[in-house]
Amino acid sequence: MIVYFSKFGHTQRLAEVMTRTLGSGNGSVRLVSAEELGVDNLQEADLVLMGSPTHKMNLPKAVRPVLDGLPKRCLRGKQIAAFDTSYKMNWLLARFTAAPRLNHQLRKLGGQQIVRPETFFVAGREGPLFDGELERAEVWATNLIDQSTKEPGYHVVY
């Protein structure tokens, strides 16, 4: 399952590319907007991938209540990965994007992280996505397939 929140459409475009990529190599993949997410959506998922834009070096305010509204440990036994969209910033500030915070929240819900959080870059506040970011999303999703099929204990963690 891929869950996304998107303000200008860039995070949604990335999520759609990842859905096609994961669906072609791993069967059925469901794409759900954060506004539609509920515990019922999560029950059948083995892998939960979630993405959002970075707003003011944090998770968007609209995403926080969605995550806070999920029951504790609802991702127990599920693999998770997080991504965000952000503009390129100074390397000292690069850790202040939405993906690490999103990853932390998904882990608090019991998810098992399989890859490091990833940032995809937009030019300026409203985009567009930098050239090559959609292709990079395909590669990242392909790596998710590889990591999700490995034996327990061999997952890449941050």
Distance CA 122, CA 133 (A): 9
Tell me which of 2 and 148 has the higher pLDDT.
2
3 SS3 class:
strand
Give me the mean pLDDT over the 113-132 stretch: 93
Burial classification of residue 147, based on how many CB atoms lie within 10 Å of its CB (0-12 exposed, 13-18 middle, 19 or more buried): middle
Q: pLDDT tier at 26 (50, 70, 90 boundaries)?
A: low
16 SS3 class:
helix
Task: Calculate Rg over the CA atoms of the chain.
Answer: 14
Q: Is the pLDDT of residue 13 over 70?
A: yes
Q: Look up the pTM and report it.
A: 0.90
pLDDT at 156: 41
Q: Tell me the domain boundaries of the chain.
A: 2-148
Tell me which of 96 and 13 has the higher pLDDT.
13
Q: What are residue 32's DSSP bridge partners?
A: 3
Q: Strand 2-4 to strand 31-33: parallel, antiparallel, or no bridges (unpaired)? A: parallel
pLDDT at 158: 34
Handedness of CA 84, 85, 91, 95 (dihedral sign): negative
**Phi, psi for 14 (deg, rounded to 5):** -60, -45
- At the fourth CATH level, the homologous superfamily of domain 2-148 is Flavodoxin domain (3.40.50.360)
Tens-digit pLDDT profile for residues 52-111: 999 988 899 999 999 999 999 999 999 999 999 998 876 666 678 999 999 999 999 999
